[in-house]
Amino acid sequence: MKKDNFKIAVFAGDGIGPEIIKEALKILKIISDKKKIKLQFKEGLVGGSAYDHFGVPLPDSSLKLALKSDAVLLGAVGGPKWESLDYSVRPERALLGLRSNLGIFANLRPVVAFDELLDASPLKKNIVRGIDIMIVRELTGDVYFGKPRGVKKGKDGKRRGVNTMVYTEDEIRRIAVRAFEIARTRKKNLLSVDKANILESTELWRDVVTEVGQSYPDITLKHMYVDNCALQLIRDPAQFDVIVTTNLFGDILSDEAAMLTGSIGMLPSASLGDKTALYEPIHGSAPDIAGKNIANPLATILSVALMLRYSLSLPREASLIEKAVGETLKAGFRTRDIFQKNKKLVGTEEMGDAVAKKLRKLIN
Ligand code: NAD
């Protein structure tokens, strides 16, 4: 998609949401001013703040705004204030509502080890150095949605829990195409993760991914069983480029991979549908540090880079933002969550300003 007037819905949400979104918008505005790209921002309420105002976590006005936007930028939702509410109106329901209404089926989680933060990883530096993985997780199928499901009492009076692992050809093809396209913008290596030796639904997964691969002769496709992948992510994570996998395996592997780099405040995400997409940091609303100007805004700033790459077809500008973040870390700026001795401790706003300054220099 390439056009000159992009509509971006902005939902800051709760807790640290407004603080981190403010910094991410600073970065987007620099791109729009310097590159003469027209970005139109419209703000809406979701989560607990929407509940306080409208009595629901996802008001119609916010959903409509999301549906007519090219991309959605979200901070985070939730907090102790709303924890005693009925599940149907909890802030987190807004996320489910947005995902299902936007038809989102692919969750992208990049995991990148910045050289300056290698110490933050629980793994040894020599293992983490050079990590640059993109995990593409299918989001709408598999055992999370398959039927029959439930817990029933059998004739013997004992309970039996059932879930059904199921994938259709079309569901697999759609996510495989996305993963191959993403691999094309990177190092052209795609690893498909399954358990085809035991599970028939993933035997089909492997067949369909292989079929789709015939249309992408420029991409090297490999397959790996999920248990081996879990092991390899710890043994030698730098071997991976793009990983595509099922909903269940992706849920587990993406959390494992998130820990490789150590800091939750650094990890962005993208959730893609056919028409629009949602960009958000992987962390929550961090109520324990909200309103104190100490939250790390980098995951949200890096989410904005993903937005430029995957929704607005502006890969050069996306890379500039990522480079500006890297240079800011190299210059020694650290929020409290990633602080190391002899570095400059800064707040949310100062970190945003530091990245903005680097970005302006890189663009000029
Ligand atoms: P959390 O991610 O909000 O916080 C976990 C820990 O990480 C906290 O100590 C927090 O201070 C820290 N942290 C998180 N983001 C940070 C950042 N940017 N900079 C520095 N430190 C950061 O998870 P939680 O405490 O389990 O959940 C808090 C609330 O967020 C809950 O209501 C939960 O439901 C909600 N939540 C929302 C989302 C979302 O909006 N996508 C995701 C997860 C949790």
- Taking only the tens place, the pLDDT of each residue in 336-361 is 999 988 999 999 999 999 999 999 99
Look at residue 127 and tell me whether its pLDDT is greater than 70: yes
Q: State the average pLDDT over residues 237-258.
A: 95
Look at residue 1 and tell me whether its pLDDT is greater than 60: no
Atom of ligand 1 nearest to the CA of 16: 18
Q: Tell me, what CATH number does 228's domain have?
A: 3.40.718.10
Centroid of ligand 1 to alpha carbon of 251 (angstroms): 17
The answer to whether the beta carbons of residues 201 and 218 sit under 8 Å apart is no
Which pLDDT does position 262 carry in this prediction? Answer: 75
Task: Specify whether 253 is located in the same domain as 269.
Answer: no
Which pLDDT does position 57 carry in this prediction? Answer: 98
Ligand 1 pocket, mutate which of 95, 117, 139, 283 (most atoms under 8 A from CB): 283
Which pLDDT does position 2 carry in this prediction? Answer: 53
Centroid of ligand 1 to alpha carbon of 210 (angstroms): 38
Task: Specify whether 147 is located in the same domain as 166.
Answer: yes
Portion of the chain with pLDDT greater than 70, in percent:
99
Look at residue 232 and tell me whether its pLDDT is greater than 90: yes
Which pLDDT does position 227 carry in this prediction? Answer: 98
Three-class DSSP labels, the chain: CCCCEEEEEEEEECCCHHHHHHHHHHHHHHHHHHHCCEEEEEECCCCHHHHHHHCCCCCHHHHHHHHCCCEEEEEECCCHHHCCCCHHHCCCHHHHHHHHHCCCCEEEEEEECCHHHHHHCCCCHHHHCCCEEEEEEECCCHHHCCCCCEEEECCCCCEEEECCCCCCHHHHHHHHHHHHHHHHCCCCEEEEEECCCCCHHHHHHHHHHHHHHCCCCCCEEEEEEHHHHHHHHHHCHHHCCEEEECHHHHHHHHHHHHHHCCCHHHCEEEEECCCCEEEEECCCCCHHHCCCCCCCCHHHHHHHHHHHHHCCCCHHHHHHHHHHHHHHHHCCEECHHHCCCCCEECCHHHHHHHHHHHHHHHHC
Task: Specify whether 332 is located in the same domain as 202.
Answer: no
Portion of the chain with pLDDT greater than 90, in percent:
90
Tell which of 261, 294, 310 closes a domain: 261
Which pLDDT does position 5 carry in this prediction? Answer: 86
Residue nearest to atom 8 of ligand 1 (CA): 286
| 333: nearest Cα among 298, 285, 293 | 298
Structure tokens at 153: 């009492």
Residue nearest to atom 37 of ligand 1 (CA): 284
**Catalytic residue flag (residue 353):** no
Task: Specify whether 11 is located in the same domain as 103.
Answer: yes
Which pLDDT does position 137 carry in this prediction? Answer: 96
Atom of ligand 1 nearest to the CA of 298: 18
Which pLDDT does position 129 carry in this prediction? Answer: 95
Look at residue 54 and tell me whether its pLDDT is greater than 60: yes
Task: Specify whether 230 is located in the same domain as 312.
Answer: no
Q: State the average pLDDT over residues 313-319.
A: 93
| 270: nearest Cα among 171, 175, 135 | 135
Look at residue 216 and tell me whether its pLDDT is greater than 90: yes
**Catalytic residue flag (residue 195):** yes
Which pLDDT does position 261 carry in this prediction? Answer: 85
Look at residue 303 and tell me whether its pLDDT is greater than 90: yes
Pocket of ligand 1 (CB under 6 A): 16, 76-79, 92, 95, 264-265, 280, 283-289, 295-296, 299, 337
Residue 117 lies in a domain: no
pTM of the model: 0.92
The per-residue pLDDT for range 147-172, each reduced to its tens digit, is 999 999 999 999 999 999 999 999 99
Centroid of ligand 1 to alpha carbon of 1 (angstroms): 33
Total domains in the chain come to: 2
Q: State the average pLDDT over residues 81-89.
A: 94
Q: State the average pLDDT over residues 96-125.
A: 92
Task: Specify whether 27 is located in the same domain as 71.
Answer: yes
Over the chain, what is the mean pLDDT?
A: 95
Task: Specify whether 285 is located in the same domain as 364.
Answer: yes
Centroid of ligand 1 to alpha carbon of 164 (angstroms): 31
Look at residue 238 and tell me whether its pLDDT is greater than 90: yes
Q: What angle do CA 157, 160, 162 make, to 5 degrees?
A: 155
Domain of residue 146: give its range.
Answer: 122-261
Q: State the average pLDDT over residues 287-306.
A: 97
Which pLDDT does position 78 carry in this prediction? Answer: 97
Which pLDDT does position 110 carry in this prediction? Answer: 95
Tell which of 231, 261, 291 closes a domain: 261
The per-residue pLDDT for range 263-290, each reduced to its tens digit, is 789 999 999 998 899 999 999 999 999 9
Q: State the average pLDDT over residues 214-236.
A: 98
Atom of ligand 1 nearest to the CA of 83: 32
Ligand 1 pocket, mutate which of 11, 104, 264, 302 (most atoms under 8 A from CB): 264
Write down the residue that tokens 């800011």 correspond to.
328
Tell which of 235, 261, 287 closes a domain: 261
Look at residue 116 and tell me whether its pLDDT is greater than 80: yes
Residue nearest to atom 25 of ligand 1 (CA): 286
Which pLDDT does position 21 carry in this prediction? Answer: 98
Q: State the average pLDDT over residues 91-109.
A: 93
Q: State the average pLDDT over residues 297-306.
A: 98
Structure tokens at 318: 């996306």
Atom of ligand 1 nearest to the CA of 296: 19
